[in-house]
Amino acid sequence: MKKLTATFCIIFWAGLLAGISFLETPLKFQAPGITVPLGLGIGQQVFQVLNKVEIVLLLIILACSLPAPLNHIRSILLFVLTILVTTDTFWLLPLLDERTTLILAGNAPTKSYGHVLYIIFDVIKFLFLAILGYSNLKSLSHEK
């Protein structure tokens, strides 16, 4: 049951990332009537909530997956996902929020690669979740 719960959370998380980060976010700015300030405000709210959901899903996955040998590929992927979510939560999202606040206040912030780094983190998270999901599904089918 624990592995099934972890697998569900992994696949659900991958779907959230695909839907929000790779589909909704780029399309939002192409919608008629969406201004940059409006799009940034919506994006700020969406990514704050997504981060909280990611933390909850990660905690559930970790609780269902531990204890596991640290030399196992799934453990390594979970460790990297934990580092990425922690970095997003405590460094990258606050940095991006500060930038968004400056832009919404009419100020021009200095050049930053924060959004590019966030995209790279999301691509890595998605790929690792896809590998974990596949691996868990494969091991579930062998348990039957």
What is the spatial distance between Cα 19 and Cα 13, in angstroms, rounded to a whole number?
Answer: 10
Tokens for 95?
């940095």
Which residues of the chain carry a pLDDT beneath 70?
Answer: 68-71, 144
- pLDDT for 144: 60
Helices 2-19 and 36-65, interaxial angle, to 10°? Answer: 170
Place of tokens 């348990």: 143
- pLDDT for 4: 92
- pLDDT for 110: 86
Tally of CA atoms within 13 A in the half-sphere of 59 that contains its CB: 7
- pLDDT for 71: 66
